[in-house]
Amino acid sequence: MNHLIAKIRLRGNAQKYKKLLSAESIFEFPNDLVQHVQYSPDHNLDVDSWFGIEQFSAQTFCLDFLRTPFNSAEYDLLNTIDVDKLDFLCSYQNENEYYFQNISKAQLVRKKLLYLGDAFRYERNSKTIVINSIADAIYMKDQDILYFRRLPSISGIFKGIDLLYREATEVETTDFLKREFIQLDEDFSAAKVGKANRHRIAMALDTLDSLEEEEKGTVLNYIQDYCPDLDYQNNAFRIKSDDELKKLLYGIEQRYYTTPVGNERRCANSIIRLDQQS
């Protein structure tokens, strides 16, 4: 039997998960849920791809009830007075498959409705939820993998999961911009670094920490080759804008490449690290 439960916004120790109904499957199983990509906010998913987090039950942001066997008897029925407090839906389907959908204000619809089913019925103040055909997130318990496509759509469900999208702190950003290979223009400062570049700085810091000094020199030469428009003097790039900083950060991540046919110089907007086969 498939079961649909809802998380409602309640204070205190009151039970926050309620059962709506037991019925047929609410969400479809995607036919492209075969392989997954490790999450990276700089990666643009193909239309048939999903992000995946393996060993999800070991993550701090995993919901407690996902770590135990599902038992519908543990959940009280949702009271109609609580429908305005709905936070998200979880549909338990096909034995150990959990489908999640966030409930936004746009999906909780209040309208006058005329039902055209087996029996015609008019409701003056109907409240309905728009169900997406594909869930925002799917947890396959037997594989212990959480699949999703957009982090913002599930960050309200799995509190703390947005730590995967780590931004450099103010201190980290300031320290990075003080590196010996960076010279800031007087009109540019850490305060003008955008949200996206703060994330790229967080990645760049990890990358630089993994490089030997000789490798860092190779990367800086590589950036000069691919970004001749960046002003490079006295062994430092003079950064005058957030866009120029992005070019530098892309270079640190070695996202520039040349095609073997046509010799075109390109920048990879999305990257996937390929495992080397032995």
Alpha carbon distance 260, 181 (integer Å): 30
How many CA atoms lie within 13 Å of 33's alpha carbon, on the beta-carbon side? 20
Sketch the domain layout of the chain as residue ranges.
2-104+136-164, 170-267
Q: Which two tokens stand for residue 112?
A: 């006058």
Is residue 214 within a helix (H) or strand (E), and if so which, with residue range? helix 213-226
Query: Which residue's entry shows tokens 């990367």?
Result: 219
The model's confidence at residue 219, banded by pLDDT at 50, 70 and 90, is very high
More confident residue, 68 or 165: 68
Weakest-pLDDT range from 70-74, 111-115, 150-154: 111-115
How far is it, in rounded angstroms, from Cα 190 to Cα 210? Answer: 24
pLDDT over 90 (residue 237): yes
Parallel, antiparallel, or unpaired for β 231-233 and 236-239? antiparallel
For residue 273, what pLDDT is reported? 67
Nearest to 24 by CA among 4, 40, 44: 4
Alpha carbon distance 178, 190 (integer Å): 10
Among candidate residues 84, 79, 80, the one with its CA nearest the CA of residue 110: 84
Per-residue pLDDT tens over the stretch 102-143: 987 766 677 777 777 777 877 777 777 888 889 999 999 999
86-100, 105-119, 168-182: least confidently modelled range: 105-119
pLDDT of residue 106: 67
How sure is the predictor about 278, in pLDDT bands with cuts at 50, 70 and 90? very low
3-state secondary structure of 238: strand
Question: Comparing C-alpha atoms, which of 119, 36, 126 is closest to residue 83?
Answer: 126
261: Cα separation from own chain's centroid: 34
Do residues 135 and 99 lie in contact, with contact meaning Cβ atoms separated by under 8 Å? yes
The stretch 238-245 carries a mean pLDDT of: 96
* Whole-angstrom distance, CA of residue 179 vs CA of residue 4: 53
Q: How confident is the model at residue 70 (pLDDT cuts 50, 70, 90)?
A: very high
**pLDDT reading at 277 higher than 70:** no
- pLDDT, mean over the chain: 88
| pLDDT value of position 178 | 95
* Alpha carbon distance 272, 243 (integer Å): 23
β-strand pairing of 236-239 with 182-184:
parallel
Provide the pLDDT for residue 275. Answer: 59
- Residue range 145-162: mean pLDDT, rounded: 91
User: Do 39 and 151 meet the contact criterion of CB atoms below 8 Å apart?
Assistant: yes
Q: Is 144 left (phi over 0), alpha (psi -120 to 50) or beta?
A: left
Mean pLDDT for the stretch of residues 78-98: 89
Mean pLDDT over residues 220-246, rounded?
A: 96
**Which residues contact residue 233 at a Cβ distance below 8 angstroms, ignoring those fewer than 6 apart?**
183
- Segment 1-5 shows an average pLDDT of 89
> HSE of 117 in the Cβ direction (CA atoms, 13 Å)?
5
Beta bridge mates, 245: none
How much is the pLDDT for 274? 67
